[in-house]
Amino acid sequence: MHDILRNEKYSGVYVFNKTASKNAFGKRNGHAIKDDEDVVRVPDGMPALISPEDYQKVFEKMKANKRSPAAYEATETYLLSGLIVCGECLEKHDH
């Protein structure tokens, strides 16, 4: 479900050249994502199922709900687990 909600095609953006090509053995690794400057995005390249604004709202909500990796390493759940943010930029950091 997470990957479906993050897929830009539902907002009408056609995306290609996102994953690495086949290796020397003819195998493709769909998890090997290319750098963002190599990815081609065509706005309105396909019919949108949701508005770009709604897609952006979902993206921001999912980003806000993302738990810090350290939250999964604690042996106990603490009152502020995954909620602490940087005092300067107000963002959660991985370090």
Note the pTM of the prediction, 2 decimals. Answer: 0.47
pLDDT at position 81: 66
Cα Rg, the chain, nearest whole Å: 18
Residues 2 and 46: their CA atoms lie apart, in Å, by 21
Q: Provide the residue-wise pLDDT of the chain in tens; the chain has 95 residues.
A: 677 777 888 888 888 887 777 777 777 776 677 777 888 888 888 898 888 888 888 888 888 877 766 666 666 666 776 677 777 787 776 54
- Nearest CA to 83 out of 67, 60, 94, 63 is that of 67
